[in-house]
Structure 1
């Protein structure tokens, strides 16, 4: 059984889409092979938190997510956490995940050049 997946990349990430896909896509095969039906989100993680906007989402979560949001919930992390398979962030991607200041942006550009 192959599932349909949607790749999500935050607008403040400089991780190349092809590299993110190559890192996360093999996990979809692992999930299907091991019949881990409860794992419907694959995203990057570091030592302190998940990166839900750098991941793959099974399209089958849409109905449940709509119900969750329409019921007034806004904490999407609480919704996805139980169904997440976390993949360790590649160390040289750390500064590419997001940036909020000019210094962060400069650091990201330097990191991008070093890929």
Structure 2
């Protein structure tokens, strides 16, 4: 068994977890490019034993509010409607989830996903 598989089994108890990735960048030439986020999430998913089965993306979108972010809106709709075929959501870092001016807004979206 290779090293990654050993870590995967230890992290997830040997069970593959179905996950969605949420990707967002606000500008075209940004350190947090969509491709950089995908690469980092893929590496993390391999270690954690996650199988990325869905991708939601908001390229060139501000993280200040939910408006104008169809990817995040669709993910929330899929989760709340029961259509989501994943158990967890992975983001590159919390700033990709959003830069909401009110921290309660960010927490409210996270709570909606948990429910």
TM-score between the two structures when normalised by the length of structure 1:
0.30
